[in-house]
Amino acid sequence: METQQKSIIGPCIRLHPADNVLVARMNVGIGAQVPGETWGVRSQVPAGHKIAARFIKAGEPILKYNVCIGFAAADIQPGTYVHSHNVSFQEYERDYAFGRDYRPVDPVEAGRQASFDGIVRGDGRVGTRNYLGILSTVNCSSTVVRKIAEWFTPERLADFPNVDGVVAFSHSLGCGMEMTGEPMDLLRRTMAGYARHANLGAALIVGLGCERNQLKGLLDTQSLEPGPLLRTFVMQESGGTRKTIEAGIAAVMELLPQVNSVERRPVPASHLTVGLQCGGSDGFSSITANPALGAAVDLLVRHGGTAILSDWPADGGVPLRRGGHAARACIHGHAGLRPGLGHGPDRRRRQPDRLYHGPRLHVRRQACTQPQVGHQFVDVPAAGGRYGPELRHDSRRREDH
């Protein structure tokens, strides 16, 4: 949805010239008039909800953002409240129009690209924060990692001004699950992603000892090697909960001087990767805050950065728009297939992330109610995978098959 396509008409907003519904900007009462229209409002319509802009015949598509969001369950007179009571859902043919709306980025030339003060790690990656992370391999060691992190209050970290905090990464998984296969792989990829993250100056991983997600298996499969900045503990080998907490606190105290010994320096904005996730929706979020965030991300992408849209269920209703913005048809195919791969370790549907590089990335939530209008939908990386400039370049080199 382009900004210039929206128009405010009295108490309503028309999101697209082709729409047959308007959005109420405020609570609209019966009899209210809409400038330029010959009809009056026939129903009480809450703010953020839809009003029929013209007569809609039974079975006709309901268009919002010029996207079909349902079908009229009965004849709907102009000015009528349009909601679940008079909208139905059914199958219909779609033209995915692969790549029709795809636009290459108009990048800012290298000498004028933005920069920020980042933390350059030994492997060249750049962080925006400097934390020390405590990870649990299994839910049974979650209490231990939380207690270790909680011990490091701001007062106890006062002597380490370059350390942003000691944070715990706990979860409810790691046992009662298969030791191989996608659920375990997803858990381990995610844990390794945290352990290696550029925003962690060091990490401590704590296992129980008898869990399915064995510490050794995690390290081996993810090519993690214990060393000066990666410490490990197994509770059953360390003497139990209390002794492991004490040992973990001591280990963090040893690590803090190294983590603190960083300096920020100017680095290109291309090192930034921003994850986007809708925290909750109402009738206005998809036409206010979300497009504003999309405009900000547009700027980042023009300066070489990366944006990830991870709210997969919200995209399920508008695959035809997603296909139009895909760089290649196979990307859209991957997007459609990924949700069907199975259930994650916690038996909820996994949400593969979508990677966007391009103008007008408008992130939005409500499924079937707002089109995705990013014009460079370039890849659908696996959940728990790494993202950033290296993935962007790899995706451009892949063949369309």
pLDDT (tens digit per residue) in 250-282: 999 999 999 999 999 999 999 998 887 766 667
pLDDT at position 225: 96
pLDDT confidence band for 361 (50 / 70 / 90):
very low
pLDDT confidence band for 26 (50 / 70 / 90):
very high
293 assigned to some structural domain: yes
Confidence check: pLDDT of 373 > 80: no
Measure the CA–CA gap between 85 and 361, rounded to whole angstroms. 32
Same domain for 256 and 148? yes
Same domain for 205 and 147? yes
Contact predicate 365/314, CB 8 Å: yes
Same domain for 341 and 368? yes
- Residues 317-343 have a mean pLDDT of 47
344 assigned to some structural domain: yes
pLDDT at position 277: 73
Same domain for 250 and 305? no
Domain limit, last residue, from 39, 74, 93: 93
Residue 382: DSSP 8-state? P
184 assigned to some structural domain: yes
Same domain for 275 and 328? yes
What angle (nearest 5°) sits at the alpha carbon of residue 351, between those of residues 143 and 314?
A: 120
Q: Which of 374, 371, 373, 370 is nearest to 50 (CA)?
A: 370
104 assigned to some structural domain: no
pLDDT at position 363: 29
Report the percent of the chain where pLDDT is more than 90.
57
Contact predicate 259/231, CB 8 Å: no
Domain that holds residue 236: 131-260
- Residue 50's contacts (CB-CB under 8 Å, 6 or more residues apart) are 21, 22, 23, 24, 62, 64, 81, 82, 83
Domain limit, last residue, from 93, 120, 146: 93
Confidence check: pLDDT of 307 > 50: yes
pLDDT at position 394: 40
Same domain for 276 and 251? no
Burial group, residue 119, by CB count within 10 angstroms (0-12, 13-18, 19+): buried
Mean pLDDT, the chain, whole residue set: 81
Between residues 160 and 376, the one the model is more confident about: 160
Same domain for 254 and 373? no
Same domain for 393 and 280? yes
Domains held by the chain: number: 3
What angle (nearest 5°) sits at the alpha carbon of residue 385, between those of residues 269 and 141?
A: 110
6-10, 58-62, 226-230, 238-242: least confidently modelled range: 6-10
62 assigned to some structural domain: yes
Same domain for 162 and 79? no
117 assigned to some structural domain: no
Domain limit, last residue, from 192, 225, 260: 260
Same domain for 86 and 41? yes
Same domain for 251 and 273? no
Same domain for 47 and 158? no
Which CATH number fits the domain that encloses residue 50? 2.30.130.110
Q: Which of 101, 95, 97, 105 is nearest to 329 (CA)?
A: 97
Confidence check: pLDDT of 14 > 70: yes
Confidence check: pLDDT of 368 > 60: no
Report the percent of the chain where pLDDT is more than 70.
73
Which CATH number fits the domain that encloses residue 230? 3.40.50
59 assigned to some structural domain: yes
pLDDT at position 9: 83
Burial group, residue 3, by CB count within 10 angstroms (0-12, 13-18, 19+): exposed
